[in-house]
Amino acid sequence: MTVTTLPSAPSTFDTTQAVWSATDELRNPPPAKLIVDRVTKSFKSQSGWLKALDDVSLTVGEGEFVCLVGPSGCGKSTLLNLIAGLDTPESGTLSSDGAPIIGPGRERGVMFQEHALFPWLDVLGNVLFGLQLKPSLNKAERIDIAKYYLQLVGLGRFVHANVHELSGGMKQRVALARTLAPNPRILCMDEPFAALDAMTREQLYADLQDIWAKRKKTIIFVTHNVREAVCLGDRVVLFSPNPGRIREEFRITLPRNRDINSVELAEHATLITRALKQHNATTNTSE
């Protein structure tokens, strides 16, 4: 698999010079927070067994922001579910901080495309629900923490609002606060902003980058949107389907906070989209 580092200030790319050097990386490797080692996962479908993931390996460093990109059905959500401990691999192993992942855990928070808020609880109640995972806290401490995260996601004024009074973007912010409140070290996010309008999404890109920097999370973020991946990720990992495999990685070194509308970011996205199309063309013709 090729790993390419995209330079931070190019106006024209020379991809031959952008190739990542293993020696650069080995000089100062971040500690591995998450290790996915040769993982395979199949599902039974009407036409037989389908290999959703085939021999997938991925190492994610502490505090790294990794985006998984690829067409529908290439196994992104399957991998995220395995990392979250919501499913088990057929073969291969997953570990977080050196401990095998054998089920959901407090150190790994999950956020999906659908906010999955409880409509009978208000905004604060929904975030407090996430804090049930922390039995060591008393009620006052939980409320303080929930309010802190609601403030962090920009909803400090909506603590007692009902869920049905919120816009789609606000609901996703509550879901983000609920996921962040138990202070997971790894955030698994599966297309969390896909259903939102462009302007709301842009604001959330900025907020998520701020939160990531402030709270020092390791984030695995699934998206179809290459620009979104370049805007958020330290690394963009490309998947192809049938069977689901990792095909290529790009390191993004653009300075943060990144603006999704910048010319540089668009150039990176164009290059990565081209690579994605090539991988899918070879997948479709060879298998």
* Interacting residue ranges for Mg ion, rule: CB under 5 A: 77
Position among 77, 96, 280, 283 found at the interface with ligand ATP (CB under 6 A): 77
Amino acid at residue number 274: R
The angle formed by the CA atoms of residues 61, 57 and 228, to the nearest 5 degrees, is: 60
CB 189 within 8 A of CB 220: yes
Min. distance of Cβ 99 from ligand ATP in angstroms? 24
CB of 210 to ligand ATP, least distance (A): 27
If one asks whether residue 46 binds ligand ATP (CB under 6 A), the answer comes out as no
Q: Does 43 bind ligand ATP (CB under 6 A)?
A: yes
Minimum gap (Å) between residue 222 Cβ and Mg ion: 6
What's the alpha-carbon Rg for the chain, to the nearest Å? 19
C-beta of 45 vs 138, nearer to ligand ATP: 45
Stretch that binds ligand ATP, among 73-81, 103-111, 140-148, 212-220 (CB under 6 A): 73-81
- Determine if 240 is a binding residue for ligand ATP (CB under 6 A): no
Contact 251, 234 (CB under 8 A): yes
Tokens of 278: 């090539």
Burial group, residue 62, by CB count within 10 angstroms (0-12, 13-18, 19+): middle
How many residues of this chain interact with ligand ATP, rule: CB under 6 A? Answer: 14
The residue range among 18-26, 42-50, 54-62, 201-209 that interacts with ligand ATP, by the rule CB under 6 A, is: 42-50
Distance between CA 89 and CA 185 in Å, rounded? 22
Binding of residue 223 to ligand ATP (CB under 6 A): no
Q: How far apart are CA 278 and CA 275, in angstroms?
A: 5
Q: Are strands 108-111 and 186-190 parallel, antiparallel or unpaired?
A: parallel
- Beta-strand (E) ranges in the chain? 2-6, 32-45, 48-61, 65-69, 91-96, 99-100, 108-111, 186-190, 218-223, 235-240, 245-252
Asked whether position 147 contacts ligand ATP by CB under 6 A, the answer is no
In this structure, what token pair is assigned to residue 176? 């983000």
**Least distance from Mg ion to the Cβ atom of residue 192, Å:** 12
Binding span for ligand ATP by CB under 6 A among 55-63, 70-78, 249-257, 261-269? 70-78
The yes or no reply on residue 84 touching ligand ATP (CB under 6 A) is no
From the list Mg ion, ligand ATP, none, partner contacted by residue 52 (C-beta under 5 to 8 A by kind): ligand ATP
> Does the N-terminal peptide bond of residue 243 adopt cis geometry, omega within 30 degrees of 0?
yes
| Amino acid identity at 249 | E
CB of 70 to Mg ion, least distance (A): 9
Nearer to ligand ATP, 184 or 244 (CB): 244
Selected from 60, 74, 188, 232, the binder of ligand ATP by CB under 6 A is 74
Which residues contact ligand ATP by CB under 6 A?
43, 45, 50, 52, 70, 72-78, 224, 244
